[in-house]
Structure 1
Amino acid sequence: MSITVEAHPAARQAREAATAAAVTAGVTVIEEADREKLRDIESLLISIWGMSSHGAPIPFDILRSISHAGCNISAAYLPDGTLCGAAVAIVTPGDAASYSLIAGVAPGIADKGVGFALKQHQRAWSLDRGIETMTWTFDPLVSRNARFNLSKLGAHVDEYIRNFYGLMDDDINANDESDRLVAVWPLASETSIDCSEGLARDVDLPSSSRVLTYGPDGEAQLLEADGTLWCRAPQDIVALRAADPGQAARWRSTMRESFETAFDAGYQATGVTRTGWYRLTRPSEQH
């Protein structure tokens, strides 16, 4: 039995923005359901994250089941047909929310806008089905991803979960604890619409602030300025895990304390500077 869904009023704008993002990135993004192409997506995800003791990040059989269930698998292809990115999201029928399980882009093209095009495709796919919100988790120590999620897409964060997956032994996480921030992306908000059209929510560190805590490297890590908090992530946590696992672990503890304290006090993260500082504000004070 088919279920009739009504598109959100913002669906048309989302489709147009997704098309524009794909053109800018030089890719074609589609909803992928072909069985053999799903095997290619499994291989791509392995090439990005590597294998762990559990196998592929999302095995082919799970991808196949997700597709069969009517959930979203977005795939980006270069003009020659090469798969270069993929994103996977699930949704419970009747809910007004979707959950993004994974999104990744092939090594070497991370700055081409393919990831942005994939997320805009997911946004359009969701709004076409009346789904207004998408959530996912990400590592708070990876400032590049944080800026993409909060400043480029328009998501926000007010929840920190300790060791979400347990210890992770893939190539990127390198046996670190898997603390995660929970991104909430209101797909039809004014901010998300602006971001979808290339108007990123850029934020800059204030010229004057008060240091609250210092990071493991001895530099300021948490600042306060006019009621806004600024929390710094390490510049390259993946390299740091490989070079100095002890300091990487200290960064984990430092940021865990900073975020949990701020969220308990009613703050939420609403943007990230190009240099890796999260902006945390109270919703009543945002403008």
Structure 2
Amino acid sequence: MPFAASLASAAQQAQAAAGAAGVRIETVEDPERLFAVSRLLAEVWATPPGHDPLASDVLRSLAHAGGAVHVAFGPGGMTGATAAVFGPPRGHDLYSLIAGAKQGGRGVGYALKLAQRSWALERGVATISWTFDPLVRRNAWFNLVKLGAHAAEYTPDFYGPLDDGFNTGDRTDRLTAVWHLNRLGTPAADIADRPDPDAAPGPDGLPFTARDGRSLWCRVPEDIVAVRGADPARAVAWRTAVQDVLAPALADGYAATSMTRDGWYRLTRP
């Protein structure tokens, strides 16, 4: 697809996603509205007072440096936001620092990412990168299947300890997602393609790995945040079990390229 055509297509896709979610999306730079963005992100991430994920002065600085803060506005006001800065020189990469939407904002996160993608393509960006928790199944599905990113890097305890409504009491291991902006979405991994699971059980007593000559498969829990709240020891066991599968596989040249609807990562070699 010619570059000009891809720009137009990306803009149309972003507009359609915003319309489907019932929001309008703007880039925000003025301090007053950035303060509101910072408070919104604190609400989404359930951080204690004074521990906003990104303070308004930081958001102001990254926007002034050429990055972008995209904000979704619904009938009731701000409902989601995402912020990004440019990556290393000559990398043609945008680094997405954070993204979040209020509960019930169905489609808002997708609309924000497509707006970010359209903005990036207009500036010659080829990829957007960000990190996500490999145990959070809904985020993995969104990143790998809905957007079409892949992940080939595992970093243990990426941020160190975090005190918020999602990470407290657990290591902040992260996968790095890379989204090539000339693609949008990938088919979900077909569970029929998965070989018979390995005998070794996961922390819930059920099989959680499988492998064949082409792919490696690894299952994650349905809701790790709920597991952390109900059984912290089991959450830690999940962290260790999944790290023991994903980290060496990615170091050996595999990449997480898709996921089944019931939470199995599919890792393949390029």
Same fold by TM-score greater than 0.5: yes
TM-score normalised by length of structure 2: 0.93
Does the alignment pair 1:88 with 2:94?
no
Tell whether 2:123 aligns with 1:137.
no
Name the % identity. Answer: 44
Give 1:278's match in structure 2, choosing from 243, 265, 269: 265
Q: Within 5 Å, which residues of 2 pair with 1:92-107? A: 92=87, 95-107=91-103
Query: Which residue in the other structure is 2:53 paired with?
Result: 57
Q: Quick one: which amino acid aligns to residue 164 of structure 1?
A: F
**Residue 240 of structure 1 aligns to which amino acid in structure 2?**
V
Name the residue aligned to 1:258.
Answer: 245
Query: What are the superposed Cα offsets for residues 234-256 of structure 1, whole Å, 9 maximum, x if unpaired?
Result: 11100100110000000000000
Q: Is the 8 A contact 1:203 1:271 kept in 2?
A: yes
Gaps of 5+ in 1: 1-6
Q: In the TM superposition, what whole-angstrom CA distance separates every residue of 1:29-60 from its partner, at most 9, and x where no partner exists? A: 11112321111111111111122587100011
Root mean square deviation of aligned Cα: 1.8
8 Å CA contact 1:30–1:76 kept in 2: the answer is: yes
Conservation of the 8 A alpha-carbon contact between 2:80 and 2:101:
yes
Pairwise CA distance, 1:226: 5.1
Aligned length: 266
**CA distances 1:67-98 after superposition (whole Å, capped 9, x unpaired):** 222211010011x2510000000015654001
1:211 paired residue among 184, 197, 202: 197
Which residue pairs with 1:202 in the alignment?
188
* Structure 2 counterpart of 1:163, from 157, 166, 179: 157
The 3 A distance-change label for structure 1 pair 131 and 250 is same
Match of 2:189, SS state, is coil
CA distance in 2, matches of 1:91, 1:42: 20
Q: Which runs of 5+ in 2 are unaligned?
A: none
TM-score, length basis structure 1: 0.88
What one-letter code is carried by the residue in structure 2 that aligns with 1:205?
Answer: I
Aligned to 1:21: 17
Q: 1:67 aligns with which of 58, 63, 66?
A: 63
For residues 265 and 134 of structure 2, the distance between their equivalents in structure 1, rounded to whole angstroms, comes to: 9
Would you say the 8 A contact 1:8–1:132 is kept in 2?
A: no
Asked if structure 2 preserves the Cα contact closer than 8 Å seen for 1:139 and 1:181, the reply is: yes
